[in-house]
Structure 1
Amino acid sequence: MFHPLWNSYLSSIFDWVIETSILASVLVGFILCIKIVLKNWLTPRWKYALWLILIVRLILPWLPESSFSIYSILSKGYESSQFFIQENTSIWHVKENIHEPKTSISTQKITKEVPTGGKNNNWNLSVYNILLLFWILGVLVSVFFMILINRRLYIYVGKQPAITEKRVLDIFEKCKKDMLIKKDISLSLSGKISSPTLFGIRNPRILLDENHVKYLNDNQLRYIFYHELSHFKRKDIIINLLMHCLLILNWFNPILWYAYYAMREDQEIACDNLALTFINPEEKIAYGQTIITLLEQYSTYYRTPTLANFSRNKAILKRRIIMIKKFNKNSYRWSAVGLATILGLSTLSLVNINAEETSYKKNIVEQPKKEVEQPKEI
């Protein structure tokens, strides 16, 4: 029973993961290039949206084929590598033909003494099975630790007392009303968890440190709530959890891990961008100072996908402060450049390489091999 499962289902999933991981790595390169080239043209909202295309690319098990695909670079690389190999193979065949009369007897002896290529094929098969087993173990270990950490986190958060101070609750309800959020979201103390942070999916809550409740003024609390509610409004925890599950399948790919952290950076900046639309323009500096104040007291006790919390990275902080200074409410609206970029990248990346084109190129590459081998058969 296990043998058919291993050879059919698991191997098919493994092959799909490897192929998708390679194509997604190419897409990550294109996204990073677009962010550099259109650095001053794309708002934080659109820069973050680029990463959503990557998630779609990793999720979909099947995509239509097209000649206009960014992954054509892989087929061109394959063609170039095959041409290089073929050139060396052709030279080897020419040398073999020159020395063929002298080595015909020894070749026959070697053929008799050396067994057929069955062992080599078995070795290749065993290497594949080892890689498949290694991948499965990596997935199982990752799932185990993810469940363990989140279970401990949910138990810990469940033990934290709710915030009952009227001043804080009134500010929070006012922020929810401003952002048109009707969902019941509770406020709790954070304990050792990095805060402020949004936690949970079905029963979301915002976690605050006890010192934040005591010493932050009304405006500072308002800035915090706008930012954390922006995470809720944008469904960031769901996206983070989904991306983390995809990373478990692609745990072996460092490019995708880098993409995940880059996405989280853009996520924070995009939330700042949304939060700033709910405050007065003259409050931008105060909002930035509040972020700096929070990061000075920041803890990294827990960092999981079910938490949408701040980052202490200095480079990210610098980007956030620059964005806050340059923020303009009109910049949050739909932009033609951003929309065109998303549509263009989606059109070119959410398709696979045309199979007929790839097959045609492969035949062109393999044709010289047959021509070289023909004299040997005469």
Structure 2
Amino acid sequence: MDILIKSFLWVLHASITASITALFIILILKLFNKHIGVRLQHALWIIVVIKLIMPLQFESNLSAFNLLHENHKSSSDIEKQSTIKDMTYATSDFLREGKYYWNYRDKNKVLSVDASPEKTNYIKGKVIKEDVATYILSIVSCVWAFGILASVVFLLIFKQRFKRKTLNLEELEDQAVIKLLDECKREVNINKDMAVYISDGFKSPCISGIVKPKIYIPQCVCSIDKHKYLYHVLLHELTHYKRKDLVYNSLAVIAVILHWFNPIVWFCMKKMKLQRECACDAYVLEIIGEEKAEDYGMTLINFSKLISSNNKALQLAVFFETKNQIRRRIEMIKNFKKGSYKMSVAAVVCCVAVSGVVLTNAVNAKSMKADSITTVSSNNDSIKKQESKFLIDSPHKTYFDIKKAQEVAEFKVKVPDFLPEGYTPTDGFEVIKASDKDNVFKTFFDFRKGEKISSSFEFYVSRVNIEEFLKQDAENKNKQMQDPESLNVSKSDKSGKVETSKEVMNLAGINGSNITIKSALPGDYNEICKFFVWQNEGMWYSMQYSRELGKSGNLKKFANASTDDIGKIATSIKYIEAIKSVNYSVEREVSTELATLMIYDKEDLNKAKELLGFDPKLPLTINNDIKINDSAVGISGDSDIKNKKINYELNTFYSLKGVHLTFTQGKSFPSYESIKKNGYIEIDQKEIKVLNLKIGDKEVFKYEDSFESEPNKQSKDEHYVWEENGFYCSVSIFGQVTNPDEIAKEFVDSKPID
């Protein structure tokens, strides 16, 4: 049923937008009818057909449906709007994007346990209305599907009747007519073989069959002595085939079947049929010449009189229509001028422009003003994204510039303009890959006592419902903690159970959800996190306002914001340009323990080159087993931070089946000269022998650091150090591998990225 409803909503969206497109085209034809040729008029109606049946549509800033955009207000203002206003927003989104939300502001909204009975009853009423609406939509979708089925059955019956009627027809063998047909085919430049059949069962001449075309002519037409009339008829039907009108007619039939409920679609297809005939007439007149237009017009008039008496005949094809349509065609023939069938460059440009305006959807979240909904970057941002592909496409990216984080996330975010006393933003903004198409923006707000962080809360933003992401994120973290290799816990110590629950919550007039996630961790530890989830201007927001961790019965709180503060934070969110009370450009602490710059794309790499003072190597692939994880510029250990004498180094991290590798590059390596001179390195007051290897044209020093990892078990790490063009490189392999020298060679032989 869900697929049926989604299909109906897609068709309904296409039907409404195509109807708007049709009205737009009618207006164009009304204003510029005398200046638009019949061929262009027919092309405009084809655009409507494409709009009706095209399953995939593209976004464009040129789309006419961008005009349906609403300038949404701030969250506090939105809460004051009426249900009618919400329906207006929802309708706007449906027409622009083809997506429908039951309650624009209040999707999935619920109230807290201690909410007043009046508010609880209000929301219950809303839920009942949504259930009723869903039920009604299900019924309407079923009626729509039944209408399609009935239309298809009718079409099949019609085709079966047509097949029976033409089954025993004999192909015309009159040599004069066959010769005339060949002449007409040469005139129209058609090489395909076609048969002509004579029958009294047809009201007018027609052509049928896209692959194997056949021409059917009433007996009364062939009985006329004047072959020039038959010449006009054959030329007209062949022109239909030449112009691919049979294909356009099939598309129109599909459109009518899908949109049988829309009278505007029927009207459009009727208009398209008339313009198709007029365009075909114009094509014929281009062939026979302007001087013979009168004879062609008389053919229409005479045949219409002749055939009108045959009321019992089946009307299948298109040569003759109603009196008004024939009058319209006669008028076009009367005013025909040589060359009018051809489409000028201006006409082609007009057709392309109209297609770009009406065949595309509005940009999903196009910013019309600074405070309007913006979920996708501008065209320039999109182009920049395409040109700047990720070198390291980490599923979890950290940026120290909120604007860069928004660019990578591909949507603008609102952040709090109010924080409880003592809380400050962290200096990092994270972009988490929730799926191949969707990202989640995340940041932290810490409560500090001196240098110590005693409490913090997390803040999330997403284009899609964030509830599923929060659950999946908790499960992923739990899986990492269940890995005995990562935390050195026994397999019997694993729990891994994650439970989620949802309850109603209303804070400061914002209706949202309270999501509780309970995770059972190794060692009988438990973690309980609570999130407030709500929507603002089509985007999903969430705060982890409570986090407890510890053994059962002895949980310690690491985050505990009051509900009053949560409500104030939620109502204060604004775009970064409008923030006044909170500083999101926090100066980073200078430390050798913190990354200065994370490397993800070429823009980051160029900044890294400036900090390092040389072109670093960044091997993205070593072999099929070694995977690159992260790369970051940091402050090297030999820096004099107090006196602001800073040296930078680039650390790139790799993994190989439980083994970790670090590739470090910097302008200094304090023990290098000592290694080169003495042949050993001193670690923990131990002199460790260094081997001198020749890898390519590089002199590489290798040493092993042995240690006891577990009782009665010795492990060793292997290190390689060498000098490059004015900087030093080192590779450290933490764990046992069978081919350490070969791995080191891959790093030595690697080149800087252009």
* TM norm structure 1: 0.81
CA RMSD of aligned residues (A): 3.2
1:86 is matched with which residue? Answer: 81
**Partners of 1:180 and 1:77 in 2: CA distance:** 55
Q: In the alignment, which residue of structure 1 is the partner of 2:62?
A: 68
Distance in 1 separating the partners of 2:349 and 2:116: 65
Contact 1:28–1:259 (CA under 8 A) maintained in structure 2: yes
Q: Tell me by how many angstroms 1:316 deviates.
A: 1.7
- In the other structure, the counterpart of 2:124 is 116
Query: d(CA) in 2 for partners of 1:251 and 1:232?
Result: 27
Aligned partners of 1:42 and 1:337 also within 8 Å:
no
- Residues 300-330 of structure 1 deviation map (CA, whole Å, 9 limit, x = unaligned): 6434xxx542243222212211211121222
Aligned to 1:128: 137
3-state SS in 1 of match to 2:339 = helix
- How many Å apart are 1:87 and its aligned residue? 6.8
1:332 is matched with 341
Q: Partner amino acid for 1:53? A: I
Once the two structures are superposed, what CA deviation does each residue of 1:26-61 show, in whole Å capped at 9, x if it has no partner? Answer: 111111111122212211111111112122222322
| Partner SS for 1:187 | strand
Kept after mapping to 1: 8 A contact 2:205/2:318: yes
Q: For the Cα contact (< 8 Å) 1:176–1:229, is it kept in 2? A: yes
Secondary structure of residue in 2 paired with 1:232: helix
Indicate the structure with greater helix content.
1
Distance 1:113 1:191, change over 3 A: same
| Distance change (3 Å), C-alpha of 1:77 and 1:278 | farther
Task: Give runs of aligned pairs for residues 1-378 of structure 1, distance below 5 A.
Answer: 6-7=1-2, 9-75=3-69, 86=81, 116-117=124-125, 118-296=127-305, 297-298=307-308, 301-303=313-315, 307-357=316-366, 361=372
Q: Could you tell me how far apart the structure 2 residues matched to 1:62 and 1:290 are?
A: 44
Instruction: Provide, for residues 134-187 of structure 1, a one-character-per-residue CA deviation record: whole Å limited to 9, x for no partner.
Output: 111111111111111111112211222222222212111111112111111111
Partner Cα separation in structure 2 for residue 76 and residue 246 of structure 1: 30
Inter-partner Cα distance in structure 1 for 2:84 and 2:136: 25
More strand by share: 2
Deviation at 1:334, TM superposition (A): 2.9
1:110 Cα deviation after fit: 6.7
Q: Are the structure 2 counterparts of residues 182 and 86 from structure 1 closer, same or farther at C-alpha, using a change threshold of 3 Å?
A: same
Match of 2:340, SS state, is: helix
**Structure 2 Cα separation of the partners of residues 222 and 77 of structure 1:** 61
Q: Deviations over 1:184-208 (max 9, x none)?
A: 1111113222221112223211111
Offset, 1:373: 5.2
The one-letter amino acid of 2:155's match is M
Amino acid at match of 2:26: L
Q: For the structure 1 residues 135 and 350, does the alpha-carbon distance in structure 2 shift closer, same or farther, using more than 3 Å as the test?
A: same
Provide the C-alpha distance between the structure 2 equivalents of 1:181 and 1:112, rounded to a whole number of angstroms: 73
Shift in Å, 1:332 = 2.2
Secondary structure of 1:183's counterpart equals coil
Query: 1:212: how far off?
Result: 1.2
Structure with higher RCO (Cα < 8 A, 6+ apart):
1
Separation in 2 of the partners of 1:127 and 1:266? 39
Q: Distance in 2 between the 1:109 and 1:45 partners?
A: 66
Q: Secondary structure at the match of 2:211?
A: coil
Cα separation, 2, equivalents of 1:239 and 1:48? 10
Matched-pair contact (CA < 8 Å) for 1:48–1:266: yes
For 1:116 and 1:60, the matched residues in 2 are separated by: 39
Identity fraction in percent? 28
C-alpha contact (below 8 Å) 1:26/1:71 kept by paired residues: no
Contact 1:194 1:309 in 2 (8 A): no
Alpha carbons 2:53, 2:254 under 8 Å: kept:
no
Q: Quick check: 276-285 or 133-142, which moved more?
A: 276-285
Q: Please report how far the alpha carbon of residue 89 of structure 1 lies from its aligned counterpart in structure 2 after TM superposition.
A: 7.8
Preserved CA contact (<8 Å) 1:186 1:205: yes
SS at match of 2:207: strand
Q: Which runs of 5+ in 2 are unaligned?
A: 86-114, 375-505, 511-566, 569-754
Q: TM (normalized to structure 2)? A: 0.42
| Secondary structure of the structure 1 residue equivalent to 2:124 | coil
4+ residue runs over 4 A deviation:
76-79, 87-90, 107-115, 358-363
Please say which structure displays the higher CA radius of gyration.
Answer: 2
In the aligned structure 1, how far is the partner of 2:72 from the partner of 2:344?
38
Cα 1:50–1:250 shift into 2, 3 Å: same
Question: For 1:213-251, what per-residue CA distance to the aligned partner results, in whole angstroms no more than 9, with x for missing partners?
Answer: 111412111111111111111111221112111211111
Worse-superposed segment, 148-157 or 198-207: 198-207
Distance 1:155 1:291, change over 3 A: same
Once the two structures are overlaid, the 10-residue window that deviates more, 349-358 or 149-158, is 349-358
